[in-house]
Amino acid sequence: MTDRSIVRRAFDWLFRDRQTGKLVIVQLPNLALWLFFAASAVRRFAHPHGAVGTVVSAVAVAALLWWAVDEVARGVNPFRRALGMAVALLVLVRLLIR
């Protein structure tokens, strides 16, 4: 087996959808990711304070964690599952060090 075929097989294993065989690195955002984007935009541009700010931040964190766990559980390839795991771990670490 040549080095090129080993790299090709590794690439296919990491990035190909197991059901369709299509290359999947980025997908359209699902509901959880849209909620995260919306809450993050509100936090960034509206700068809510008090209870509203707390709720907006909680929604952002919960939505991102929801997306990450969903990717770990149902990601279409190892890259998507690893990405979900990395994001979940980062969110949890940030929550713990606050």
Query: Residue 12 falls within a domain, yes or no?
Result: no
Residues of the chain with pLDDT below 50 are none
Q: Residue 14 domain-assigned?
A: no
The pTM (predicted TM-score) of the whole model is 0.89
| pLDDT attached to residue 97 | 95
- Tell whether 11 is covered by a domain: no
Question: Looking at the domain assignment, is residue 62 inside a domain?
Answer: yes
Q: How many domains are there within the chain?
A: 1
Q: Is residue 16 part of a domain?
A: no
For the segment 34-60, what is each residue's pLDDT rounded down to a tens digit? Answer: 999 999 999 999 999 999 999 999 999
Which structural domain range is residue 49 located in? 27-97
- Residue 44, in any domain of the structure: yes
Q: Is residue 17 included in any domain, yes or no?
A: no
CB 76 within 8 A of CB 13: no
18, 20, 24, 26 alpha-carbon torsion, rounded to 10°: -120
